[in-house]
Amino acid sequence: MPGQLSSPVCLTVIWFLSWSLCPVCRAHILTNEGVQHGRLGSNVTLACGTSPQRTAVQWHLSHTLSLPSHTVTSDGTLLLLRVDQSAQGNYSCYDVQGNLLHSVKLRLGNPPGKLNISCRLPNHSLVRCSWLESVKTFLPAQYHAFYRGKGEEWKPCVVDPSLERCEITLPTYWQPVHILNITVTNALGREQTFTQIRMDKLLKPDPPESVTVEGQAGHPTRLAVAWRYPSTWPVHSAFPLMFQIRYRPQGSTHWSEIESMDIPVLISDALAGYPHHVQIRAQDEVNSDSQWSEWSPPLLAWPWGAYNTPEPALEPLLPEEDFFGENFPVDINPETSTAKTQNSTLDEDGNIGLVILLVLFSVVILTTVLSLILVMWMKQRRRDHVTKQELTSMVKMKSMPI
């Protein structure tokens, strides 16, 4: 029995069976394989494990013989030339008998570059910094961030890697400048980026929240605007907020603005009968060098609808597309009623003239018809007279003796 198993035929069958089952074996092996990293655009060398020198080997990429541009050295090392993303995958080398000698997973990318860092203070006790890569690495990275004021020790800026940002809580606000150092590391290298945090100039509140806009009953030109401090700004702190409210009728390109520290604010010059867009933003009232927040999302609100009540003094307004233009706002003054009266008088005069014109046209038509009837009657009368004369002549001729 042992002799039969060692015969060439049995060995060939066993090798074929092992090769046919090899994908399962290889898949299991590759799940526990090592990872090798390479830089895009460079040459990458993959060693065939412990293969003896000058032993012929065969390389596979993801179980196929299709390989990117490469050469194989005498010791079985695979040299990939100027690799790109298509060269990534699972590489395996086999000896001439088909035995797996080594496998490795190749991942390609770039070493990290400098980061583009931006910081903002939503209030005096919190700093948020975020960053963007200046070089696309295609590889997972780790970030470490530290900050310090002048003469202080380095302190951690707590990193949220999923959002690529870090937060500083309770910074030394009376220190006008802080230094932030962010180090990014991946499998191909590491890079440090330093930036300055100007506490006074980077202060930028979040937009006001819970904004409401309502018309006031009995006042068609008023809108009451209310809101709350942003949740990231302490309401009872020593730093109150200044608010700016802007509003415009729908369709207009011109904003009107109001600044106030009080909540709510009353808009008293809204255009009656038209919906208005309203937005609010905030700024630290104490620090004039701070930034305005972003505008709150626009709200669309109508003034009180008194123009819909059955009062004869109120006129329906023109359609919006005819009323508004690029040079809005339109001045509203007492001359409007006078203009409407003049337009009404002109319309009445125009109607009277049209009636007179129609009457004259009817008279002309009637005269023409009567004239035609008279002409035809006279022609017919002449024909009858001629016919009568002819008959009389014929009678006379018959009565004459022959």
Q: How far apart are CA 157 and CA 134, in angstroms?
A: 21
Confidence grade of residue 360 (pLDDT, cut at 50, 70, 90):
confident
CATH 2.60.40.10 is held by the domain 209-308:
yes
- Alpha helices (H) along 173-218: none
Report the alpha-carbon distance of residue 183 to residue 162 in Å, rounded: 16
pLDDT of residue 375: 86
Q: For strands 34-39 and 100-109, give the pairing.
A: parallel
The DSSP code sequence of 246-278 is: EEEETT----EEEEESSSSEEE--PPTTS-EEE
Helix (H, G, I), strand (E, B) or coil at 372: helix
Distance CA 192, CA 198 (A): 20
Least confident of 199-208, 240-249, 302-311: 302-311
Give the per-residue pLDDT at 74: 82
By percentage, how much of the chain surpasses pLDDT 90? 48
Of 64, 211, 37, give the one whose Cα is nearest residue 141: 37
Share of the chain above pLDDT 70, in %: 75
Q: What pLDDT is attached to residue 6?
A: 43
pLDDT score for 134: 92
pLDDT value at residue 147: 94
Range with the poorest average pLDDT among 144-153, 181-190, 269-278, 347-356: 347-356
Q: In the numeric block, which tokens belong to residue 105?
A: 């997973």
Q: How would you list the strands of the sheet with 57-61, edge to edge?
A: 34-39, 100-109, 89-95, 57-61
Gap between the Cα atoms of 381 and 274, Å rounded? 75
Strand ranges of the sheet holding 158-160, from the earlier edge strand across to the other edge: 115-123, 126-133, 165-169, 158-160
Residue 292 sits at φ, ψ, to 5 deg, of -75, 145
pTM of the model: 0.59
Please determine whether the domains at 21-109 and 209-308 fall in the same fold group of CATH.
yes
Domain spanning 21-109: CATH superfamily: Immunoglobulins (2.60.40.10)
Per residue in 369-385, pLDDT (tens digit) is: 888 888 888 888 877 77
Mean pLDDT of 202-227: 94
Residues 6+ apart with CB under 8 A from 162: none
Helical H segments across 223-334, by residue range = 320-323
Averaged pLDDT, 151-174:
88
| 49-62 per-position pLDDT tens digit | 765 555 788 899 98
- Least confident range from 111-115, 192-196, 364-368, 387-391: namely 387-391
pLDDT at residue 325 greater than cutoff 50: no
**Per-residue pLDDT, 50:** 63
Mean pLDDT, rounded, for 203-223: 94
pLDDT tens by residue, 89-118: 999 999 888 888 889 999 999 999 999 999
At residue 305, the pLDDT reads: 81
Q: Which of 72-81, 246-255, 289-298 has the lowest mean pLDDT?
A: 72-81
* Cα 113 off chain centre by: 29
Residue-wise pLDDT for 38-49, tens only, equals 999 999 999 987
Local confidence band at 399 (pLDDT 50, 70, 90 cut-offs) = low
Please provide the CATH number assigned to the domain covering 115-198: 2.60.40.10
User: How does the average pLDDT of the chain come out, rounded?
Assistant: 79
| Residue-range domain boundaries for the chain | 21-109, 115-198, 209-308
Q: Which residues pair with 84 in a beta bridge?
A: none
pLDDT at 53: 59
* pLDDT at residue number 395: 54
Q: Which residues of 7-35 are buried (b: 16+ CB within 10 A; e: fewer)?
A: eeeeeeeeeeeeeeebeeebeeebeeeee
Q: What share of the chain is helix, strand, coil (3-state, %, to 5)?
A: 25, 35, 40
